[in-house]
């Protein structure tokens, strides 16, 4: 099946402020999502429905964001899940150098 990549800005769950948002949509259903902070262009979350993983959907979302933004960044390793870290390693690209989350207690760059 063919899916489309849609772009918008809006909230990221309960976070304050708007985010860049890309959605992979197939037959009206979201099958993947990518959220990027507007001010720092840092990836906050990328997810693909479990039954659709391995089809290149996350890569397509990342590539759409990278084409639109000037400086797309992977978040700090301390902020990534093991899956997110593997994705960042596989995709390559630049990584944030400092924490942008006000309430975080991480030790900044790894």
* Ordered domains of the chain (ranges, CATH): 4-91 (3.40.630.30)
For 26-45, what is each residue's pLDDT tens digit?
999 999 999 999 999 999 99
Specify burial of residue 51 (Cβ count, 10 A radius: 0-12, 13-18, 19+).
exposed
Alpha-carbon distance of 62 to 50, in angstroms, equals 17
For 39-65, what is each residue's pLDDT tens digit?
999 999 999 999 999 999 999 999 999
Q: Which of 59, 108, 64, 53 is nearest to 88 (CA)?
A: 59
Q: What is the pTM of this model?
A: 0.88
Average pLDDT over every residue of 9-34: 94
């Amino acid at each position: 099946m063919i899916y489309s990549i849609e772009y918008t800005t809006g909230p990221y769950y309960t976070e304050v402020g708007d985010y860049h948002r890309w959605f992979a949509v197939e037959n009206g259903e979201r099958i993947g999502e990518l959220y990027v902070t507007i001010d720092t262009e840092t990836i906050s979350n990328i997810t693909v429905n479990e039954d659709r993983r391995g089809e290149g959907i996350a890569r397509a979302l990342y590539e759409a964001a990278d084409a639109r933004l000037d400086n797309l960044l992977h978040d700090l390793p301390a902020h990534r899940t093991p899956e997110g870290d593997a994705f960042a390693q596989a995709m390559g690209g630049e990584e944030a150098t400092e924490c942008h989350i006000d309430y975080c207690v991480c030790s900044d760059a790894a």
